[in-house]
């Protein structure tokens, strides 16, 4: 019956607050990436504009991708849910094949396509959201059954998680896990299973944590970064200094100090710290407000959508972005242990930006697809 | 809307609210960091990127009287490294170690120590610096520093002294005038990135402030003359050590202060620290018979006797209580003038007996004995002259021929200079002027007024007496010059041995005097400590004195007093002979 109504959709306009927030964030990202990276780019590539130029190209492509994905009727993805999963798994496997994969910092998380490197775990997250939205909406009648509403989703998630874990990228696995958990919770999977999974996963997560020495060190440094400020706590200490020395008004655009080789990855994982130092508290609160708008437009679109798949898809994509945002900010501010996660729209990085642009495009498409007779 | 759909919407709302709450926490954390902890974190951050840089200017130069360099600071390069910017540390470390003569493993270890800045090598020779620069290694920093250099090696080394590695004066004038010479250091903040590069150079310049220059009264040429003569004499007579001082009698300016053995201040650590001292100022010694001129001055000034008053010299042996005073040659009757000329100890004792210890003491203190001269050199001794109340009759007798009293070389020469200078004692000095880096004179020294210690008439009489010393029969004939009249006095003092009594085989041989008699241009003192071959001042020290005076007067173009015809003929004959 729901199917019948949805065939006569009316196409309304773009969700303006969402679109403007995302575009504004991307613009701020370009400016801050330039400020954060020019010294490093100059040092490494002899060209201060290196990252600025690339990010500008990514942003233009990202804008196009956003526009295109907002044009594609979201229901089409239902048909591709499994194919996308398979492609994700394949791409993840590819990262481990020498010649295709691209390793950096001891982890093989990327594959090289042309001149660009692409991070399949980002794509896998998107595929997982589409799959869950499709599967959870399809199985609504028997969602409360363990073998139907819970087990298959967990198995698919675990498969992807294992593939990501090989890289290794513990941070992405945690994000994926939390994301699935929240989506299953929203989709109606009984709390008893979800709670049980949580209890069952805790020792497992602990085991994984302890299996790699750097993870333990990261956790220790998170608990007392000042004590470890010369080694494991180095990043976090310098990030905190960046925020603190920014004060209310900041040091002014371009005037930050921590990006000058003190703070590692100032243009990727710690772009928020550079914003904190150069733009101060008001800049940080502005960025928070923009993300707040993105989240709530996403949630509102999800809630307004009658179609369960669309609703869960919009919510899932929104939560994907929000999770990444909260974890990145939490790490930068010393609230969470260090994770190699980018800040959506702001951090330098093509695959992250493109995937998030696709996500926003899909949310916008869901938002403008209204069932007939409703506004 | 189905019930299921509705719960899903509610759950979506719930999740949105949860995320809003997380955002609130993040905003709260932002306020905490940006507002509450801002002071603390800002201080932490600034301590990271604000580095205090100390720049030091150039230490002042020490010049001789003619502005010839005696001590200079040369700019040398020190090589530091920011290992964070360096590529291929092992390979580059190996290459640099080879050039600089360092241990390659050690250097590589230093470079890999994880410090943001390390020294590769300090004060590197210029050609090595070039080689390192040619390697074109990234992350190297060439930091100019200064190295103290003494271009004349041992010349006047004991006077000039030397500096330590940090260019602080440790000895001599380098020590005494450290505050003047020292370059001002300027401390300022530079902001540096994590690789140690300065990126904010506003408001700070690296030019330091140079120290003031010293211009000495020492004349490099005269110093060389004195050192040369002293060295020859010391070696000839196998003296343990020697000192020669040349002074301008009317001003007190020291033209030369020579020491034997010499040392090279550029590598001072390789020498025994005992040779570092400016012994002419720091070391007291018993002057011996040279003191007789002051005895004569006391006697004549107080009208006790005239140069022609005669004294019975006891045929060479004279008893004072349980002590015996001997003369080298026995004499019967000698005038005061002859007592000085032949250096009769018994005669001196006789003179002191009629002069009285009080007058003798007063005259000696007037001439500055027992007190520091106030010369601007470190560690000056005041010598030992005990109060006359404590003198026994043998003490008085001994002091009259210069035993039982100790003086410094500079003190003695200043006293003799007073006689040359018409009875006016001037304070000896060694720094003529202090000049700031921009060329203005900071201080002009040596303008102290003299003090009349004996009347010009008495001084003139003493001069005449002293001029006889170098005439036939006098103890100082070896000091006589053909074209100038020399006034002088020999000194041969027994040294006190380890047991505390006077030694019979250790002597201090000396000669002090000035020339020309009419208008003395230089006063010279030569002391040889413990000469082995001969110990008489007239034999050991007088020739060196003569050589110094002769060459110095020539150098200073002092007009000869005597007719130079004889000399010219002699010279002509010599040239003839050479052909």
Is B386 in the active site?
A: no
Question: Is A5 a domain residue?
Answer: no
Rg (CA), chain A: 21
Q: From CA A40, how far away is CA A37, in angstroms rounded?
A: 5
CA–CA distance, B369 with B382 (Å, rounded to integer):
7
At B253, is the secondary structure helix, strand, or coil? strand
Q: Do A247 and B31 touch (CB under 8 A)?
A: no
Give the model's pLDDT for residue B571: 63
Option in B12, B41, B194 nearest A262 (CB): B194
Confidence of residue A4 (pLDDT cuts 50, 70, 90): very low
Inform me whether the C-beta atom of residue A229 falls under 8 Å from chain B C-beta atoms. no
Residue A80 pLDDT exceeds 60: yes
Residue-wise pLDDT for A37-61, tens only, equals 988 888 788 888 999 999 999 999 9
Q: Judging by DSSP bridges, how do beta strands B522-529 and B198-200 pair with one another?
A: unpaired
The tokens of B417 are what?
A: 């200079």
Predicted confidence at residue B110, as pLDDT, reads: 84
H helices within chain A, ranges in order? Answer: 2-6, 16-45, 50-71, 76-94, 120-138, 151-166, 170-187, 191-211, 213-223, 234-246, 271-304, 308-332, 350-368
Task: Please tell me the distance in Å from B8's CA to the nearest CA on chain A.
Answer: 5
Chain A residues with CB under 8 Å of B41 CB are 240-241, 243-245
Nearest to A333 among B29, B193, B195 (CB): B29
**B213-216 and B62-63: which strand pairing?**
parallel
Backbone torsion region of residue B573, taken as left when φ is above 0, otherwise alpha when ψ lies between -120 and 50, otherwise beta: alpha
Q: Pick the catalytic residue: B73, B210, B289, B510?
A: B289
CA distance B522 to B510: 17
Write down the pLDDT at residue A2: 41
Provide, as residue numbers in chain A, all residues whose Cβ is less than 8 Å from the Cβ of B4: 140, 143, 188
| Tens of pLDDT, residues A197-218 | 888 877 877 777 777 777 777 6
Q: Are B46 and A245 in contact (CB < 8 Å)?
A: yes
Beta bridge partners of B325: B318
Within-domain flag for A207? yes
Q: Is residue A332 part of a domain?
A: yes
The CA distance from B77 to A151, in Å, is 72
Contact map slice: A 73-132 vs B, CB within 8 A: none
Mutate to test the interface with B, among A189, A191, A242, A257 (most CBs of B within 10 A): A257
| Residue whose entry in the numeric block shows the structure tokens 């492509």 | A61
Q: Strands B310-312, B317-320: parallel, antiparallel or unpaired by DSSP?
A: unpaired
Q: Which of A244, A262, A303 is nearest residue B41 as measured by Cβ atoms?
A: A244
Tell me how far CA of residue A31 lies from CA of A35, A369, B125, B376, B472, in angstroms: 6, 34, 48, 67, 103
User: Exposed, middle or buried: residue B37 (CB in 10 Å: 0-12, 13-18, 19+)?
Assistant: middle
Closest chain B CA to residue A242: B45
- Measured over the CA atoms of residue B341, residue B342, residue B347 and residue B352, the dihedral's sign is positive
- Taking any CB pair shorter than 8 Å as contact, residues of chain B touching chain A are 1, 4-5, 7-9, 11-13, 15-16, 19-20, 22-23, 25-27, 29-31, 33-35, 37-38, 40-42, 44-46, 48-49, 84, 191, 193-195, 199
Q: What's the confidence (pLDDT) of residue B205? A: 45
Shortest CA distance to B441 belongs to which of B214, B229, B284, B254? B214
CB within 8 Å: A243 and B34: yes
Task: Kindly list the distances between the CA atom of residue B180 and the CA atoms of B17, B174, B444, B541, in Å, as whole numbers in the listed order.
Answer: 74, 9, 13, 37
Statement: residue A284 has pLDDT above 90 = yes
DSSP labels for B124-193?
A: E-HHHHHHHHHHT-TTEEEEEEEEEE-TTTTTTHHHH-EE-TTS-EEEHHHHHTHHHHSPBEEEEEEEE-
Phi, psi angles (nearest 5°) of residue B190: -120, 145
Write down the pLDDT at residue A105. Answer: 61
Inside any domain, residue A113: yes
Tens digit of each residue's pLDDT, chain B (579 residues): 566 677 888 899 999 999 999 999 999 999 999 998 888 888 888 877 776 656 667 889 999 999 999 999 888 888 888 777 787 888 888 888 888 888 888 888 888 876 777 888 888 888 888 888 888 888 787 777 788 889 998 899 999 999 987 788 899 999 999 988 888 766 656 666 766 666 544 444 444 578 899 999 999 999 999 999 999 999 999 999 999 999 999 999 999 999 999 999 988 989 998 899 999 999 999 999 999 999 999 999 999 889 999 999 988 889 888 888 888 889 999 999 999 999 999 999 999 999 998 999 999 999 999 999 989 888 899 999 999 999 988 889 899 999 989 999 999 999 999 999 999 999 999 999 999 888 888 888 877 788 999 999 999 999 999 999 999 888 999 999 988 999 999 999 988 888 778 888 899 999 999 989 989 999 999 999 999 988 898 999 999 999 999 999 999 999 887 655 555 666 666 666 665
Residue A2 lies in a domain: no
B331 contacts: CB under 8 Å, gap ≥ 6: B313, B315, B316, B338, B342, B344, B346, B347
- Cα B238 from Cα B509, distance rounded (Å): 12
| Residues 6 or more apart whose Cβ sits within 8 Å of residue B261 | B234, B241, B275
Q: Return the closest-CA partner of residue A6 out of A107, A83, A87, A78.
A: A78
In a domain, A359, yes or no: yes
Is residue A3 one of the residues assigned to a domain? no
Q: What is the pLDDT of residue B502?
A: 85
A189 occurs within a structural domain: yes
Q: What is the pLDDT of residues A289-315, one digit of tens each?
A: 999 999 999 999 999 998 999 999 999
A247:B16 CB<8 A: no
Q: What pTM did the predictor assign?
A: 0.62
> Burial of A46 by CB count in 10 Å (0-12 exposed, 13-18 middle, 19+ buried)?
exposed
The number of CA neighbours under 13 Å toward the Cβ of B236 is 15
Q: What is the pLDDT of residue B203?
A: 40
Provide DSSP, B94-109: HHHHHHHT--HHHHHH
Q: What pLDDT score does B563 carry?
A: 57
| φ, ψ for residue B422, nearest 5 deg | 70, 30
Total domain count for chain A?
1
Contact B193 A261 (CB under 8 A): yes
Alpha helices (H) in B189-291, listed in sequence order: 220-236, 279-282
Q: Which domain holds residue A287?
A: 10-373
- Closest alpha carbon within chain A to B27: A285
d(CA B359, CA B365): 10
Preceding omega of B320 cis (within 30 degrees of 0): no
Considering only alpha carbons, which residue of chain A is nearest residue B12? A186
CB atoms within 10 A of CB B267: 11
As given in the structure block, the two tokens for residue B437 are 């880096």
What ipTM did this prediction achieve? 0.91
Torsion of CA B37, B43, B45, B46, to 10 degrees: 150
Choose among B554, B571, B526, B547: nearest CA to B234: B526
φ and ψ at residue B257, rounded to 5 degrees? -135, 100
- Distance (Å, rounded) from C-alpha A287 to C-alpha A271? 12
Let me know: does B535 contact B502? Beta carbons within 8 Å.
Answer: no
């Amino acid at each position: 019956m729901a199917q019948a109504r949805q065939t006569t959709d009316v196409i309304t306009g773009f969700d303006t607050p969402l679109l403007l927030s995302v575009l504004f964030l991307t613009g701020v990202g370009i400016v801050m990436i330039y400020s954060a990276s020019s010294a490093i780019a100059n040092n490494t590539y002899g060209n201060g504009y290196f990252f600025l130029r690339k990010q500008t190209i990514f942003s233009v492509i990202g804008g196009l991708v956003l526009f295109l994905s907002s044009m594609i009727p979201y229901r089409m993805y239902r048909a591709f849910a499994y194919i996308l999963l398979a492609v994700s798994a394949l791409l993840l496997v590819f990262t481990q094949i020498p010649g295709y994969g691209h390793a950096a910092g001891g982890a093989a998380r990327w594959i090289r396509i042309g001149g660009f490197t692409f991070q399949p775990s980002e794509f896998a997250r998107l595929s997982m959201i589409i799959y869950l939205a499709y599967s959870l909406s399809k199985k609504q009648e028997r969602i409360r059954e363990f073998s139907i509403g819970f087990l298959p989703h967990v198995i698919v998630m675990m498969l992807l998680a294992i593939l990501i874990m090989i890289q290794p990228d513990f941070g992405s696995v945690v994000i994926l896990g939390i994301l699935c958990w929240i989506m299953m919770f929203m989709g109606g999977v009984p709390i008893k299973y979800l709670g049980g999974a949580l209890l069952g996963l805790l020792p497992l997560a602990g085991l994984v944590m302890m299996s790699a020495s750097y993870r333990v060190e990261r956790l220790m440094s998170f608990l007392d970064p000042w004590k470890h400020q010369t080694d494991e706590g180095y990043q976090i200490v310098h990030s905190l200094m960046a925020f603190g020395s920014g004060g209310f008004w900041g040091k002014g655009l371009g005037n930050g100090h921590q990006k000058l080789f003190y703070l590692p990855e100032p243009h990727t994982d710690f772009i928020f710290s550079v914003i904190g130092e150069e733009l101060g508290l008001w800049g940080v609160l502005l960025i928070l407000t923009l993300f707040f708008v993105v989240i709530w437009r996403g949630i509102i679109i999800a809630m307004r959508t009658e179609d369960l798949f669309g609703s869960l898809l919009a919510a899932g994509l929104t939560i994907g972005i929000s999770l990444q945002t909260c974890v990145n900010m939490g790490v930068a501010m010393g609230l969470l242990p260090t994770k190699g996660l980018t800040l959506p729209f702001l951090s330098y990085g093509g695959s992250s930006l493109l995937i998030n642009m696709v996500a926003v495009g899909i949310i916008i498409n869901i938002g403008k697809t209204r069932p007939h007779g409703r506004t | 809307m189905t019930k299921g759909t509705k719960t899903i919407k509610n759950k979506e709302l719930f999740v949105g609210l949860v995320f809003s709450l997380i955002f609130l926490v993040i905003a709260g954390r932002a306020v905490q960091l940006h507002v509450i902890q801002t002071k603390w974190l800002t201080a932490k951050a600034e301590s990271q990127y604000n580095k205090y840089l100390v720049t030091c200017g150039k230490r002042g130069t020490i010049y001789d009287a003619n502005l010839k360099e005696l001590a200079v600071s040369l700019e040398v390069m020190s090589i530091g490294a920011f290992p964070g910017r360096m590529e291929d540390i092992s390979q580059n470390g190996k290459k640099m170690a080879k050039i600089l003569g360092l241990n390659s493993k050690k250097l590589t270890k230093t470079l890999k120590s994880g410090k943001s800045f390390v020294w590769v090598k300090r004060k590197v020779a210029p050609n090595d610096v070039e080689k390192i620069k040619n390697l074109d290694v990234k992350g190297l920093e060439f930091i100019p520093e200064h190295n103290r250099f003494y271009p004349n090696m041992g010349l006047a080394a004991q006077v000039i002294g030397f500096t330590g590695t940090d260019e602080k004066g440790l000895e001599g004038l380098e020590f005494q005038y450290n505050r003047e010479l020292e370059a001002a250091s300027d401390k300022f903040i530079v902001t540096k990135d994590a690789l140690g590069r300065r990126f904010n150079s506003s408001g700070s310049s690296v030019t330091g402030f140079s120290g003031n220059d010293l211009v000495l009264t020492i004349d490099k040429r005269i110093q060389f003359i004195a050192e040369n003569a002293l060295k020859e004499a010391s070696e000839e007579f196998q003296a343990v050590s020697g000192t020669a001082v040349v002074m301008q009698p009317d001003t007190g300016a020291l033209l030369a202060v020579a020491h034997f053995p010499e040392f090279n201040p550029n590598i001072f650590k390789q020498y025994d620290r005992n040779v570092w001292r400016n012994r002419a100022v720091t070391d007291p010694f018993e002057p011996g018979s040279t003191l007789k001129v002051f005895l004569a001055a006391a006697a004549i000034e107080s009208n006790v006797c005239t140069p022609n008053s005669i004294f019975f010299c006891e045929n060479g042996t004279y008893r004072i209580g349980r002590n015996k005073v001997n003369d080298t040659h026995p004499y019967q009757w000698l005038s005061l003038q002859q007592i000085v000329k032949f250096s009769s100890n018994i005669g001196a004792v006789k003179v002191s007996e009629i002069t009285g210890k009080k007058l003798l003491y007063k005259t000696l203190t007037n001439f500055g004995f027992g007190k520091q001269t106030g010369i601007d050199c470190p560690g000056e001794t005041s010598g030992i002259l005990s109060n006359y109340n404590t003198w026994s009759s043998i003490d008085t007798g001994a002091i009259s021929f210069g035993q039982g009293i100790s003086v410094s070389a500079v003190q003695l020469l200043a006293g003799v200079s007073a006689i040359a200078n018409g009875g006016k004692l001037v304070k000896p000095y060694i720094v003529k002027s202090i000049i700031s880096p921009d060329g203005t004179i900071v201080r002009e020294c040596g303008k102290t007024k003299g003090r009349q210690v004996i009347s010009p008439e008495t001084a003139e009489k003493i001069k005449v007496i002293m001029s006889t010393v170098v005439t036939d029969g006098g103890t100082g004939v070896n000091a006589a010059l053909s074209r100038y009249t020399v006034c002088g006095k020999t000194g041969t003092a027994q040294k006190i041995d380890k047991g505390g009594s006077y030694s019979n085989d250790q002597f201090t041989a000396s000669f002090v005097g000035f020339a020309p008699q009419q208008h003395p241009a230089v006063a010279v003192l030569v002391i040889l400590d413990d000469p082995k071959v001969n110990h008489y001042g007239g034999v050991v020290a007088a020739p060196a004195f003569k050589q110094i005076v002769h060459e110095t007067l020539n150098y200073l173009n002092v007009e000869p007093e005597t007719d130079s015809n004889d000399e010219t003929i002699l010279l002509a004959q010599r040239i003839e002979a050479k052909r």
